Amino acid sequence: MTADASDEVEIRNALLRLRRGTGLPVAFGGLMEAGQQMRISELSGTATHALRSLVVTSGTGLGGKTVALSRPCVVTDYSASRQISHEYDAPVAVEGLRSVLAVPVVVRHRVRGVLYGALRTALPLGGRMLDTAVEAARDVERALVVRDEARTLVAGAGAGVGPGWEQVREAHAALRALAPRITDPELRAELLGACALLTAGTGPSARVRLAPREVDVLACVAAGATNAVAAQRLGVTPETVKGYLRSAMRKLRARTRGEAVVAARRAGWLP
């Protein structure tokens, strides 16, 4: 998958979370480009632009080692470390960085980017800091997976190839069911944004206002789920599902489940 501006926004947000969670004053990162190269595109807390647009090749420096090994790497004193090569010492020195950690963003066993956190003093970066940085990378990974799936499904359906509309609808139902379980509000909003992509971007009609859970239930019904299966997916009781379904049917002026699904699609709530 090719990175776009929205993917870089994920890196930017993850760097802010990394700094807040670890207390590290500096964070930076970027996504992989063609071949085995990663370009640092996002800076947070830096004093200079020395690292901006720096291209890091797999296997070189700390970030390149992280890409090659597909695992987090840490150095306590960057310029003096014997654990890495030193192709990027000059820009690192301009920024005054000493202790640096790097964690990979891995999607489907492929490194898609790297997040860095750093100190301007040579101090050990503890396990808690590394764990927090890894979790920030996991957030990016989850967002990229959702975006990749949405792009593939929408592109395939629009071109008449690849996954058909039934699979699009199943994916939409699965994403809607997953959204309430996401605790990060930014990531949850991104996931719901991906759901909107699957409705062909038409947007819901202002004439019919459905509650989020009513849409969730209708999405499950549209994918062929029974009330019991929908309840299991959504983490509610079958009676609750029935209540949401009755409410949605009333708003959509539908007499049956099937009519409700058709009306919801016409109103732009479902793919």
Identify the CA nearest to 11 among candidates 26, 30, 25: 30
Cβ neighbours of residue 69 closer than 8 Å, sequence gap 6 or more: none
Regarding whether 182 and 215 lie in a shared domain, the answer is no
Identify the CA nearest to 252 among candidates 214, 226, 212: 214
Q: Which pTM value belongs to this model?
A: 0.64
Regarding whether 51 and 97 lie in a shared domain, the answer is yes
Regarding whether 134 and 102 lie in a shared domain, the answer is yes
Which segment, 87-101, 137-151, 167-181, 247-261, is predicted with the most confidence on average? 87-101
Per-residue pLDDT reduced to its tens digit, 118-139: 999 999 998 899 999 999 999 8
Regarding whether 17 and 130 lie in a shared domain, the answer is yes
Helix H or strand E segment including 31: strand 26-32
What count of other Cβ atoms lies within 10 Å of the Cβ of residue 228? 11
Q: Is it the case that residue 8 has pLDDT exceeding 60?
A: yes
The number of residues making up the chain comes to: 271
- Say which CATH number the domain at 15 has: 3.30.450.40
Regarding whether 190 and 103 lie in a shared domain, the answer is no
Regarding whether 134 and 26 lie in a shared domain, the answer is yes
Sheet containing strand 73-75, strands side by side = 55-57, 37-44, 26-32, 110-118, 100-107, 73-75
Of 170, 186, 202, at which residue does a domain stop?
202
- Higher pLDDT: 176 or 137? It is 137
Regarding whether 226 and 187 lie in a shared domain, the answer is no
Residue 105 backbone phi and psi in degrees, to 5:
-100, 110
Regarding whether 97 and 46 lie in a shared domain, the answer is yes
Give the number of domains in the chain. 3
Regarding whether 72 and 181 lie in a shared domain, the answer is no
- Tell me which residue range forms the domain holding 218: 204-270
d(CA 51, CA 89): 11
Regarding whether 175 and 108 lie in a shared domain, the answer is no
- Say which CATH number the domain at 251 has: 1.10.10.10
Per-residue pLDDT reduced to its tens digit, 58-69: 999 999 999 999
